[in-house]
Structure formats: C-alpha cells, structure tokens
Chain A
Amino acid sequence: SAVISQKPSRDICQRGTSLTIQCQVDSQVTMMFWYRQQPGQSLTLIATANQGSEATYESGFVIDKFPISRPNLTFSTLTVSNLSPEDSSIYLCSVETGGNYEQYFGPGTRLTVT
C-alpha cells in the first residue's frame, strides 16, 4: 500500500496564472499518474510520470500546458499553466505499487479558476 499527500488541497487562481501541485508518497514507487476529475465527472488520465524518464501524455494533454517533474521515487509535481476557467477541476495523483496493478490515490487538489 501507499499513503499519498497532495499540496495544496485547494486553491483559487486567476486566469492566466499557473498552479503547481505537489504529490508526496511515503514509499518509493516507479509509476505515478496524474488525473483530472472535472465536476461531476469521471477521472481522465493526464500523464504517466516514471522516474528517470520523460512523462508520457495522453491525447488531449500537452507538456506546455501540464509540465510534470519527477525528481525522485517519492515525489512529483504537476503544473497547470496559463489557467482558464475550463481548468477548474480536481487534480489527483496516484501510484501503482507492488505489481498488483491497483492504484493508490492522493486526496486531490481542488482548483478553481476565476
């Protein structure tokens, strides 16, 4: 299992600015994932962030808008750049541990763009 924390838990940002979300895991993990959960909707994978390699982005998500860092096996950041109201969502990080294919999720970061 894994315990994941995210910072900030919520933020209100102005249009055109950026927000960086931090994800900290209590154990070393290879695979980390960033998801977006828009209001009342399901989770959509933004990117996979494996330590030691560039993040892999899903269709519809680009590095310029969602740059990701993965400096070590317990930490990652997601930046949401050039914010617009459409970016208002909950952003979640998750990890897969132990080869069981199940994921552990952080509590999420609720972003509101005004």
Chain B
Amino acid sequence: AQSVTQLDSQVPVFEEAPVELRCNYSSSVSVYLFWYVQYPNQGLQLLLKYLSGSTLVKGINGFEAEFNKSQTSFHLRKPSVHISDTAEYFCAVTRNTGGFKTIFGAGTRLFVKA
C-alpha cells in the first residue's frame, strides 16, 4: 500500500522569502515521486518529478525537490517566492507494480503575501 503525508495544510510566506513544503511517503513497492501544482481555478500541472538518478530535481518556476530515501521524504523548495506562486501544491507517488496507480497527498496551500 502507498500513502502520502503533506505535513502542512497551509504555508503563509512573504514575497521573496524561501519556502519548503514537506512531503513524506510510504510504500511497499518502488514508486516514482511527483509534485503537482493547482493554481486558482485551473487544472493540475506537473511541477517536477523524481524517477531515478540524481536525488535533487529541478522543476518549473524555480522549484526544486530532494528525494531522501532513508527518510522517505520528497520536500519541495524555492529560494525566493513570488505572489504568482500562490497555489495548492500536491505531492504524489506513482507505482507501476501491480498496476499503474497514483496516490496524492492532501495538498499544501501556499499563500504568498506582499
């Protein structure tokens, strides 16, 4: 079974400050890790993904995430946020063993203040 825990439901931050959105997961099989973003009144889009290789992955809009296998974490970071980063961020794990299936975390609402 897979599960995804996003440790913060809401993260308020001032513009140009750094931010980290935390994600922990558990799985009995190998999984692939993703962050998706949902801007207000829009659909989900991929921010970044980890499939294999380097544990530090870079995505769109200056975001990056680090896969930590020992801590089963995949935290999302950005060194300096903008007002336009205000959105809902979802961590997700996908397995392809025993069928393709993605489990999403509960989401973290990032609110960037001026």
Q: Chain A: residues with CB nearer than 8 A to chain B?
A: 31, 33, 41-45, 48, 56, 92, 94, 96, 100-108
B51, A100: Cβ atoms under 8 Å? Answer: yes
Complex Cα gap A45–B103 (Å): 8
Complex Cα gap A96–B96 (Å): 12
A45, B99: Cβ atoms under 8 Å? Answer: no
Interface centre among B101, B102, B103, B107 (most CB of A within 10 A): B102
> Is B43 located at the chain interface by the 8 A CB criterion?
yes
Contact pick for A102, options B43, B49, B96, B105, CB 8 Å:
B49
B-side contacts of A103, CB under 8 Å: 44, 46, 102
B101, A102: Cβ atoms under 8 Å? Answer: no
Contact pick for A101, options B90, B94, B105, B107, CB 8 Å:
B94
On chain B, which size bracket covers the interface?
20 to 34
A92, B32: Cβ atoms under 8 Å? Answer: no
> Is B34 located at the chain interface by the 8 A CB criterion?
yes
A42, B43: Cβ atoms under 8 Å? Answer: no
* Shortest 9 CB-CB contacts between residues of A and residues of B: A105-B44, A107-B43, A43-B104, A105-B43, A42-B104, A101-B32, A42-B106, A101-B94, A102-B46
Given A41-B106, A101-B94, the answer on whether A31 and B45 have CB atoms closer than 8 Å is no
Nearest opposing residue in chain B for A108, CB measure: B43
Interface centre among A101, A104, A106 (most CB of B within 10 A): A101
Question: What is the minimal beta-carbon distance from B48 to any residue of chain A, in angstroms?
Answer: 10
